[in-house]
Chains A and B, each alone.
Chain A
Amino acid sequence: MSRRYLIPALALALAACDASDGDEGADFVGDAGLCVDDDGCPEGAVCFDGRCVFQGAGGPGDGPAEPGDDPDPAPPEVEEELAPAIRPAAGRSVVWVAAPETDRVAAIDGAALTVRVIEVGDAPTAVATRAGTDVAVVLCRGSDEVIVVDPAGDGVESHRLPGHFNALDVGPGGRFAYAWFDLGDLRPGEDASAVQDAVVLDLDDGRQHPVTIGFGPRALRFAADGTALFVTDDGVSIIRPAQLDGPAVAPTVPTVPDIFSLADREVALSADGRYAASRGPGEAGITVVDLFEGVPRFVDLGAEPTDLDLLPPDPDRGHRALVMLREARRLALVPLDGVGEVRFVELGDRPLGSAAVSPTGDRAVLYATRPDHPPAAALLALPGGAVIDVPLRKRARVGAIDPAGGVAWILHGPESPEVPIEPPPELPEDAGLEDAALDPPAEDAGVDDAGVDDAGPEDAAMPDAGLDAGPPAEPDAGPPIATRIVVDPDLAGRHGYSLVDLDTGFVKLQTTAAEPYGLTFAPGAAFVAFPRVGGVGPALQRIDLVRFDSRSWLLGSAPEALGVLPAVDRAFVTQDHPTGRISFVPLDADGRVRTLTGYALDGRIE
């Protein structure tokens, strides 16, 4: 922003400040004007992506925590998966469901609600579709073949595989299919001889290319150019399918210098397939590797990362990783290409250990999953690095951002409304936690050891949850307060989620009777499913990401997997039913749910 606008903006900000009554009920965002930095904002406001956002007096930005303090005894961050384990294959207007017990696949037309059942090989277990089409590619686990089925045609195309595989993926271009072996899905007595093999099937000409890859592949990712990247225990195995001509050994790039610590790592890959970043237990940094060069390098961050995400490549700043360093109360923006330095963003006293990055790369939602801490979340503006708090009413479990980058969805769960209170700073060191009558074990109480040892009122101040620290314990004053309420007791025991507007920071809490799962984004909306709880549900819910309201449809049985059929503007949800059940709802919520039950029986119409 030019100086020409700075002074008027500042004047406006000050005017807004005077107009407020100064209480905590002031608008969270306020009507403050534009800014360049925090100095351009009134007291209590933070310059967030060019706008002043009120954060309250004595905000959490006061004084960064020193890195390298005693290890945080808090529980580790738990990264939950939002995607369901099993997902039917969705084409443009057809949902494909495998029926291994009948050696058939069912093509369910989402518009006409008709079913066509096609006989394939033995025990089809995995179905994928060619991008932009309704053509299905089916892995028949019992007969070791890949079947290609076009619902508009009459026949099926069979490709016998050279070995036994249990996983199937189709590349983003739709030309190549990959059969591989997922040890995580190994069945008792199953042939696992192909544990380091993959077959690349050219769906255009039917040629097969056996490729040897690293041990124990656990995920297959694709770069935008179609390069296949297998995440294995040996590193990242890289396959460029268009260059294959017969059997090959995929170059495998280790993701950490110590080859004996390759397992149990979180590995993130850049969208262009150029870089990989990983973190492992006990490592105070991340390892970055240029997959073209193949040489991993460790980036010391001074604290063990609790979460790792890659930002979309920026034309000015290149490839970067966002690394959460909860212990150090900071996050790090790490260049992957070695250009520039690591940039740290201080988080004050915020114990934020997890992050979700928007697809646009200009926002991230940071959140705490610690069960022993009040709900905490913040928004990070990139590239500026400004951080503002958002008022979560319940603790976060996991977060996701919609593909448009405008709204974050944060999952909550039932929780205790209380946390053990940390001892007041006036207590002598040797009073110990016993005098304060805290429940053991003290190390789990979330006490900030730095605050106790350093004994300063300001350091002992809790994040602005608007709560008092409570009176010091007095022997004659009755039992001391051992816990305090950090979550509304009426809300604590409920499931739910929060929607966070990434521009304004506005948060809406939506409580639910059951835990939502199967989060699936659609244009302007998100869908979640609920199991039956008591007399409520099961149900499918559409969340409007613009209006922040929702609509639910009751289902006949427990939901399993959700998906979207873009060509017919419908979302679908498969459900638990002996003969198969699937329901379709319109994406715009204007209409009724249509349910088809018994598509497994359709396979027995002969």
Chain B
Amino acid sequence: MTRALRASAALALWAALCALACDRPPGFDRPLDAAEPLVLDRHVVWPLVGQPALFTLDPATMATRFDPLPARPVLSAVSPDRGGLLVLDDRPALSWFRVDAAGPEAVFEAELTGRYGRIAFAPDQRRAVLFHGGGSAGAVLQNPNQVAIVDLEAGRVVERTLRSFGDVPRAIVVSAEAAIAGSPRQLAWALSDRYLALFDLAAPEAEEVIVHLTLAGDTRSVAPTEVTLAEAGDGLAAFVRASGADDIFALGFTDGQPGVVPRPYLNQLPAGQRPSDFAVVEVEAGPRVFAVEPALPGVSVIEPTTAGRVAVTSDLPVSEILPFEAPREDGSTGHFALLWQTGAAGVVFADLDALEEHRGRALTPLVIGGALTHVRPIPGRRAAVARSGPSRVVMLDFDARTATPLDADSPIQSLIVAPEGDAIFLHTELGSLAALATDTLIASTVPLTDAPADVERLLHVPGARRLVAVLYDEAHGRVVVSPDAELSPEALRRRDGLFLDGVFDR
């Protein structure tokens, strides 16, 4: 073949390839733009905003899935049981997925009229509330008081606007379904500055009840920050703590009509000065509200029926309360709490059953050494793990009232407590991964990467019994997967270009 003929053939081949490239799906030209990963029970899911799609990894088998979405995902949330995934897209619409062993399976879709920035699930994940939550949701004109009440079982959505009195819902708390005011209800509380909006997810069209926390003309900021539903002697009551208020607001319910949001009556329980945290515990003497008062410092024991208050001073600064149960010497179950504050040098153990009568004698301070940064309970165990300094972890044993320090080789970047409470996982600045058995305090460790700064976040997938380290700076996904026990280099699985798995089959 002459040279000219070879040149012509090459040119034709090149032209053919170019033609093929021009006809490829446009998706090849868009970035993946993966959002933050979501941890489900057995999977890790990345919403791919650029595609749009859901990319699922099963860390146990390293199998992946690519599920296209009808529109660009803007907000995703995992249900409390880690078995469901709610995705809002920019149509706007929502998609509800149940995630089984194979991955997410679509249950239903529903179009929306509003754009929402926050999702609040009911504890039983049968319902959810979408709300604005502040910030921009991308609409030209938006109604920040609009909410969407989603019945995830029935696949029904009710959108409505809550009455506003100068603010918007900053948070929404959903209570467990319970018999309240004579009927089964699932109450949701929309928290705004100076008022609450109470509505019933079981009766989504019923008009909400507004509970003002200040008198008309009172311009103070009293922003509810915490709502707890508990038994208070006369039935279920909601206890509300608000910033800017010295009282805990107790909202009780009398009889109401089915399908109508019950109207509560209010009682302000004196809680000292600006309580920072509280818990409602049924102790031996009956239900009590334990409100932590940093200004004291100490804790107030409040009887909700009489509003009687006993203030108990602690020797250490406290601003948080963590109640738990533990056996007593006589075998009975006692009610206790851990009181602590970020930056304090120790924690305080409180015997809640004895606090009202014995006061200071019911508090036992425990100096840990170093400033506490945070404390997290260990589920299923009467223990907690605390951070004290950049490289130190302290194990708190509530039974023995001990604090055992554990030092890492370098500053700890993240710390995860397993849902079962049997282990604690952490990774350090030097790139090491550690798994600590909470019962024996024996750790196994493994270096994750050669470049310690690579690890963006550490995830624990409990159902798969895997740890997934998500690495930085990789648009196509880069992870290192390890079993969550008996760590070893041989068991590590590294995957670069994760999101390109099966790209030619899409």
Q: Give A residues with C-beta under 8 Å from B.
A: 101-102, 112-116, 556, 578-579, 592-602, 604-606
Q: Is the CB of A604 within 8 A of B212?
A: yes
Residues of B within 8 A of A112 (CB): 234, 254
Q: Is the CB of A113 within 8 A of B305?
A: yes
**Candidates A114, A578, A595, A596; contact of B215 at CB < 8 Å:** A578
Residues of B within 8 A of A556 (CB): 270, 307, 309
By secondary structure, the A interface counts as mixed
Q: Is the CB of A598 within 8 A of B263?
A: no
Using A595-B308, A599-B266, A605-B210 as known contacts, list a sample of 15 further A-B pairs with CB atoms less than 8 Å apart, ordered by residue number in A: A101-B215, A102-B216, A112-B254, A113-B305, A115-B266, A594-B305, A594-B306, A595-B267, A596-B267, A597-B268, A601-B215, A602-B265, A604-B211, A605-B266, A606-B212
A115 to B215, CA, bound (A): 17
Q: Which B residue's beta carbon lies closest to that of A598?
A: B268
Q: Is the CB of A579 within 8 A of B209?
A: no
Q: Is the CB of B308 within 8 A of A592?
A: yes
Q: Give B residues with C-beta under 8 Å from A.
A: 209-216, 234, 247, 249, 252, 254, 263-270, 303, 305-309
**Candidates A114, A115, A597, A606; contact of B307 at CB < 8 Å:** A597
A596 to B303, CA, bound (A): 12
Q: Indicate whether A114 sits within 8 Å of B249 (C-beta atoms), given known contacts A579-B268, A592-B306, A605-B210.
A: no
Residues of B within 8 A of A601 (CB): 211-215, 266, 268
Q: Which A residue's beta carbon lies closest to that of B195?
A: A604
12 pairs across A/B with beta carbons < 8 Å? Answer: A112-B254, A113-B305, A116-B265, A556-B270, A597-B307, A598-B247, A598-B267, A598-B268, A601-B214, A605-B211, A606-B210, A606-B212
A114 to B211, CA, bound (A): 16
A330 to B249, CA, bound (A): 60
A501 to B460, CA, bound (A): 80
- State the Cβ distance, B385 to closest chain A Cβ, in Å: 39
Q: Indicate whether A604 sits within 8 Å of B307 (C-beta atoms), given known contacts A579-B268, A597-B247.
A: no
- State the Cβ distance, B267 to closest chain A Cβ, in Å: 5
A113 to B210, CA, bound (A): 21
Residues of B within 8 A of A578 (CB): 215
**Candidates A102, A114, A597, A599; contact of B269 at CB < 8 Å:** A597
Q: Indicate whether A101 sits within 8 Å of B211 (C-beta atoms), given known contacts A602-B265, A602-B266, A605-B263.
A: no
A114 to B306, CA, bound (A): 12
Q: Which A residue's beta carbon lies closest to that of B217?
A: A101
Q: Is the CB of B252 within 8 A of A114?
A: yes
**Candidates B212, B254, B270; contact of A605 at CB < 8 Å:** B212
Residues of B within 8 A of A594 (CB): 305-307
Residues of A within 8 A of B267 (CB): 113, 595-598
Q: Indicate whether A101 sits within 8 Å of B216 (C-beta atoms), given known contacts A113-B305, A592-B308.
A: yes
Q: Indicate whether A115 sits within 8 Å of B247 (C-beta atoms), given known contacts A102-B216, A593-B308, A597-B307.
A: no
Q: Which B residue's beta carbon lies closest to that of A591?
A: B306
Q: Which B residue's beta carbon lies closest to that of A577?
A: B268
Residues of A within 8 A of B214 (CB): 601
A599 to B309, CA, bound (A): 19
Residues of A within 8 A of B266 (CB): 115, 598-599, 601-602, 605
Residues of A within 8 A of B215 (CB): 101, 578-579, 600-601, 604
A103 to B307, CA, bound (A): 27
A520 to B321, CA, bound (A): 43
A116 to B263, CA, bound (A): 10
Residues of B within 8 A of A593 (CB): 306, 308
Q: Which A residue's beta carbon lies closest to that of B212?
A: A604
A598 to B306, CA, bound (A): 14
Q: Is the CB of B306 within 8 A of A605?
A: no
A351 to B268, CA, bound (A): 52
Q: Which B residue's beta carbon lies closest to that of A108?
A: B265
In the complex, which of the residues B264, B265, B268 has the most CB atoms of chain A within 10 Å of its own CB atom? B265
Q: Indicate whether A605 sits within 8 Å of B264 (C-beta atoms), given known contacts A114-B254, A579-B215.
A: yes
Q: Is the CB of B264 within 8 A of A596?
A: no
Residues of A within 8 A of B216 (CB): 101-102, 604
- State the Cβ distance, A152 to closest chain B Cβ, in Å: 13
- State the Cβ distance, B150 to closest chain A Cβ, in Å: 26
Residues of B within 8 A of A596 (CB): 267, 307
- State the Cβ distance, B274 to closest chain A Cβ, in Å: 16
**Candidates B209, B213, B254; contact of A606 at CB < 8 Å:** B209
Q: Which B residue's beta carbon lies closest to that of A605?
A: B211
A135 to B265, CA, bound (A): 20
Q: Which B residue's beta carbon lies closest to that of A594?
A: B306
- State the Cβ distance, B503 to closest chain A Cβ, in Å: 57
Residues of B within 8 A of A604 (CB): 211-212, 215-216
A594 to B213, CA, bound (A): 21
Q: Is the CB of B306 within 8 A of A595?
A: yes
Residues of A within 8 A of B247 (CB): 597-598
- State the Cβ distance, B213 to closest chain A Cβ, in Å: 7
Residues of A within 8 A of B234 (CB): 112-113
- State the Cβ distance, A571 to closest chain B Cβ, in Å: 15
Q: Indicate whether A115 sits within 8 Å of B308 (C-beta atoms), given known contacts A597-B270, A605-B209.
A: no
Residues of B within 8 A of A599 (CB): 266
Residues of B within 8 A of A114 (CB): 252, 254, 265
A116 to B210, CA, bound (A): 15
In the complex, which of the residues B213, B234, B266 has the most CB atoms of chain A within 10 Å of its own CB atom? B266
A599 to B266, CA, bound (A): 7
A115 to B252, CA, bound (A): 10
A87 to B404, CA, bound (A): 61
Q: Which B residue's beta carbon lies closest to that of A556?
A: B270
A217 to B209, CA, bound (A): 45
